[in-house]
Amino acid sequence: MATRPVVAGMTCAVVLGVLAGCGGDGRAGTGSGQDAGRASAPAPQRPSRPHRDGHLTFTLLALRCGLTAVAGSHSEAQPDGQFCSARLRVDNQDPNFHTFVAAQQRLEGVTGPRARPDAFAMAVRRQHEEVEIGGHDLVEVELWYDVPRDARVTGLRVTGDRDPSGYLSTRPADHAPDGVLIREEPRTGP
């Protein structure tokens, strides 16, 4: 019967030895010194200031270009030129529902239909074409664009709703006729 405590003690010692050999000081990439020369990841983009159009308030969280593919849970795709993606917070500060329409959001510096979100890339990322936002609610969305390789993107032109300004009003809420430009230099690459 003395073998059971000995086996248990030896098993415990082996487990502790293995765990001790796997450690460092608990910080990733600092245990062996092999990662000391590796460059750190770039700092994330700072969100833009909020911009209002109609009843909706937009904050650009991230803008990236030079992406060579888009992948989702069920599909992937390569661009004809390059993909650009924008992460956008859309805030409805009004008590009524208002609709965000992805197709109305355009990249600045790109002309024609390629300035609007790419339908296939948006489907790959499972992003809705329209989102009805509840009163005093917000959503964050991804917008994906397939733009020419030599496109010089300088920001995102956002467009809110054109709903009436109030319950008994027929006049649309204040809005810019061509949307509001959020100037931002995109990051390049993944």
pLDDT band at 41; cut points 50, 70, 90: low
pLDDT digits (tens, 9 = 90+) for 89-120: 999 999 999 999 999 999 999 999 999 999 99
Give the least confident one: 6-10, 130-134, 177-181: 6-10
Question: Tell me: the pLDDT tens digits for 122-157?
Answer: 999 999 999 999 999 999 999 999 999 999 999 999
Mean pLDDT, rounded, of the chain: 85
Q: What is the 3-state secondary structure (H, E, C) of 1-44?
A: CCHHHHHHHHHHHHHHHHHHHHCCCCCCCCCCCCCCCCCCCCCC
Count: domains in the chain: 1
3-class secondary structure, 60: strand
Which domain does 110 fall in, by range?
51-185
Identify the CATH number of the domain in which residue 144 sits: 2.60.40.1240
Angle made by CA atoms 153, 122, 72, in degrees to the nearest 5: 115
For residue 185, is pLDDT > 60?
A: yes
Confidence check: pLDDT of 29 > 60: no
Q: What is the mean pLDDT of residues 172-185?
A: 94
**Mean pLDDT, rounded, for 178-188:** 95
Confirm whether 25 is domain-assigned. no
| Residue 81 included in any domain | yes
The verdict on residue 143 lying in a domain is: yes
pLDDT score of 83 more than 70: yes
The answer as to whether 65 is a domain residue is: yes
Cα(60)–Cα(82) distance, integer angstroms = 20
How much is the pTM? 0.75
Q: Is residue 93 part of a domain?
A: yes
Cα 89 to its chain centre, rounded Å, is 9
- 136 CB-near residues (< 8 Å, 6+ apart): 92, 93, 94, 95
Confidence of residue 26 (pLDDT cuts 50, 70, 90): very low
Q: Is residue 20 part of a domain?
A: no
The answer to the question of residue 21 being in a domain is: no
Structural domain contains residue 17:
no
